[in-house]
Amino acid sequence: MENYQQKRLKAFLLPEPVYRQALWAVKDVPRMKKVLQEAIEREGSLQNQDFSTMRTCEGTAQSTSITERRAMQIINLSMKIDAIESALTKIPEKYRDGIRNKLMDGIPYGDQCHSNTWKKWQQMYIFYVAKNLGLY
């Protein structure tokens, strides 16, 4: 089954580039979770590092350190993952696992519903992901 938008769902129709960005953001969640977990685990090792490697931007008093960059990475990944996962709450509970499994893990939907039903809820989910991520 291809990942395309159904034209009959006009209220949930996104511009094609926005739809693809949201779709690939959802497909990227397992990697983002892995990177987030690694960043959180590394954060515990910061107490043993030398912080004399701070960079100061020329002409400003703004500085960035390893800690700040890691904290920003953790915050950005957490916000993206939360936005993507919170979009699932807009979908009926009965379809959430199937959509999550299909898009994030590549596992087929199953035989509980017709493929058009799955496509409809998947499109709605992608629409809400785009809204939550500020893509649309």
Q: Give the pLDDT confidence of 80-117 residue by residue, as tens digits.
A: 999 999 999 999 999 999 999 999 988 888 788 888 89
Mean pLDDT of 113-130: 92
CB-based burial label for 125 (10 Å; 0-12, 13-18, 19+): buried
Mean pLDDT of 63-73: 79
Q: Per-residue pLDDT for 1 more than 80?
A: no
Task: Answer with the residue of higher pLDDT: 66 or 120.
Answer: 120
Under the banding of pLDDT at 50, 70 and 90, the label for residue 10 is: confident
Cβ(100)–Cβ(121) under 8 Å? no
pLDDT of residue 116: 87
Mean pLDDT of 128-133: 97
56 phi and psi, to 5 degrees?
-110, 130
Q: Per-residue pLDDT for 127 more than 90?
A: yes
- Write out the two tokens for 101: 């499994």
Tell me the pTM: 0.79
